């Protein structure tokens, strides 16, 4: 939640800028940045009309502000102004075509409008961007979009979206569905420590100790130095203790 005092501070700064404008010309780019920050703050609070007003002021001062156009696109979408939202997204992308957050958000917008093919293209661009700190968000969005489009036969084109969906379903405790997605991922994707650990967690939740042991053996052989392998071995030691119980359930180690 945005601190209301933060917005008030921006208002004070803008008022100060206006009062000082008679003494010296203010930098319009600086003012545009302040209006953009205010617009984002109002957007995060759900005050869409106020956000729109500030962002439009920002663009009057700096038409090349990609952030202002990006946030304004989100505002227009919330207000149901789909064509304006689409136009603003594209204008922002013209200014910063390699912005992964913008690519991911535009993909989500397109998927929501059932423009699945375009959405998947932008999700892939975001996920492949080395500057993107949270590529799993793009993978999860791609997986959801493919499910929404009922295009299960095409999920192999984005194998990491299968992993993202498996992880999401596991977190929501839909273990059988999570297993199905992960098994399909394993047919086309790499068996990283993260993937094998998720498989162990899912099978542990389903109380399939044979599968837990199988994935655990694969993990410790292929990725012996990984944190996940060490965690699995430690889990095995506890289960082997006199009071450790009969099964290894990795959910207790999260």
Residue pLDDT, tens place only, 155-195: 555 666 788 778 878 988 999 999 998 998 888 777 889 99
Q: Which domain holds residue 69?
A: 1-97
The answer as to whether 24 is a domain residue is: yes
Of 106, 159, 153, 99, nearest in space to 129 by CA: 99
The answer as to whether 43 is a domain residue is: yes
Q: How many CB atoms lie within 10 A of CB 147?
A: 14
57-109 confidence digits (pLDDT tens) = 999 999 999 999 999 999 999 999 999 999 999 999 999 999 999 999 999 99
Predicted confidence band at 207 (pLDDT cuts at 50, 70, 90)?
A: very high
How far is residue 60 CA from its own chain's centroid? 31
The answer as to whether 13 is a domain residue is: yes
Of 204, 70, 216, 194, nearest in space to 139 by CA: 194
The answer as to whether 180 is a domain residue is: no
Domain count, the chain: 1
Cα(153)–Cα(115) distance, rounded to whole angstroms?
18
What is the per-residue pLDDT for 155? 53
The answer as to whether 18 is a domain residue is: yes
SS3 state of residue 196: helix
What is the per-residue pLDDT for 22? 45
The answer as to whether 6 is a domain residue is: yes
Of 47, 80, 51, nearest in space to 67 by CA: 51
Predicted confidence band at 112 (pLDDT cuts at 50, 70, 90)?
A: very high
Does the predicted TM-score (pTM) go above 0.75?
A: no
Residue for token digits 């304004």?
Answer: 72
The answer as to whether 190 is a domain residue is: no
The answer as to whether 151 is a domain residue is: no
DSSP letters along 120-161, please? HHHHHHHHH-TT-S-HHHHHHHHHHHHHHHT-GGGGGGSHHH
- Whichever domain contains 52, its CATH number is 1.25.40.10
Is pLDDT larger for residue 21 or for residue 172?
A: 172
């Amino acid at each position: 939640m945005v601190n209301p005092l933060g917005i008030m501070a921006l208002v004070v700064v803008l008022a100060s800028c206006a009062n000082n404008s008679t003494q010296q010309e203010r930098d319009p780019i600086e003012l545009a940045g302040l209006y953009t920050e205010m617009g984002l703050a109002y957007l995060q609070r759900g005050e869409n009309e106020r956000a729109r007003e500030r962002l439009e002021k920002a663009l009057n001062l700096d038409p090349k502000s990609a952030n202002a156009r990006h946030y304004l696109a989100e505002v227009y979408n919330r207000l149901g102004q789909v064509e304006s939202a689409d136009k603003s997204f594209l204008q922002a992308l013209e200014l910063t075509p390699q912005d992964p957050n913008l690519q991911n958000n535009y993909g989500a917008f397109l998927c929501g409008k059932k423009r699945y093919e375009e959405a998947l293209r932008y999700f892939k661009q975001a996920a492949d961007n080395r500057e993107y700190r949270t590529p799993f968000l793009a993978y999860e969005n791609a997986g959801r979009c493919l499910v929404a489009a009922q295009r299960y036969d095409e999920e192999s084109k984005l194998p990491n979206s299968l992993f993202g969906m498996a992880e999401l379903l596991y977190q929501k405790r839909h273990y059988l569905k999570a297993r199905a997605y992960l098994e399909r991922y394993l047919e086309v994707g790499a068996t990283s420590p993260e993937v094998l650990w998720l498989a162990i967690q899912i099978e542990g939740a389903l109380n399939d100790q044979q599968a837990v042991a199988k994935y655990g053996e694969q993990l410790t052989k292929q990725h012996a130095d990984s944190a996940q392998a060490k965690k699995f071995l430690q889990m095995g030691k506890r289960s082997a203790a006199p009071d450790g119980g009969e099964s290894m359930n990795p959910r207790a180690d999260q």
